[in-house]
Amino acid sequence: MTNIEKKLKEIITLDRYNHSVEVAKASEKLAKIYRVSEEKARIAGLLHDCAKNMSLEKMREILNLKNIPNEYNNKALLHGYAGSVYARNAFKIYDKEILNAIRYHTTGRKNMGIIEKIVYIADIIEATRTFDFVIENIRQKAYIDLDGAILEEIDFKLYYLLKKNKTVHTNTIELRNELIIKLDK
C-alpha cells in the first residue's frame, strides 16, 4: 500500500476508498490503452474523491481560500473542486493534469486533457458500478472510443438529471457540445 493509499484510507469511508481503488485500476487500464502516463492516471483515480466525505462547510472553506467560485450548494458538484485543492495541500500533488482530473471528474469541461477524460469515465465504469444496464455499454465503449463513451455517459446523465428536475452544470453541456462537434467531423 502506498503512502497515498494509507492516508486516503484515513480520510474517507471504506466504501469510498474501495471505489477509489477501483477507479485507479480502471484509470490505469485506460491510460495503457490510450498511451498516457499510467502513474498519473492511477494517482488521479485514487484521489478523485478525496474530498467526497467532507462537509459542505469544509468544502466551502477550502474553496473560498483558493478563490474558486461556489457555483452550487451541492457536495456532489463541489467535491471535485475541493478535492483538487485538498490533493495539492494534503497530498503534495502539484501535477496540473492530475489536479484537473480530480477537479473536473464530475462535471467535465471543454478542452479536457486525456488524463481528465480517463478519470471522468473511469469513475463511472469501474468494476463495482452496476447501477444501470447502460453502464455496461459505456464500459465496453470506453476501451475503444473514449470520447464516444463520455458522450454516451453525458447523455445518460442528462436524461437522469432532467427526469429528476435537477440542474445541469454548464461545464457538462459545453463538453457535450464539443464532443458532438468533434465526433460529427
Question: Taking the complete model, does pTM exceed 0.75, yes or no?
Answer: yes
* pLDDT of 119: 98
* pLDDT of 30: 98
DSSP 76: H
* pLDDT of 72: 58
* pLDDT of 17: 97
Q: Cα 51 to the chain's mean position, in Å?
A: 12
**Virtual torsion, Cα 127, 133, 134, 139, nearest 10 deg:** 30
pLDDT block averages, 10 residues each, the chain of length 185: 91 96 98 98 98 90 64 79 95 98 97 98 92 83 97 94 90 96 83
Q: Is the dihedral of CA 81, 85, 61, 53 positive or negative?
A: positive
Half-sphere exposure of 167 (CA within 13 A, CB side): 10
Alpha helices in 72-113 (DSSP H): 75-91, 96-103
Domains of the chain: 3-184 (1.10.3210.10)
* pLDDT of 69: 55
Cβ contact 51:62 at 8 Å: yes
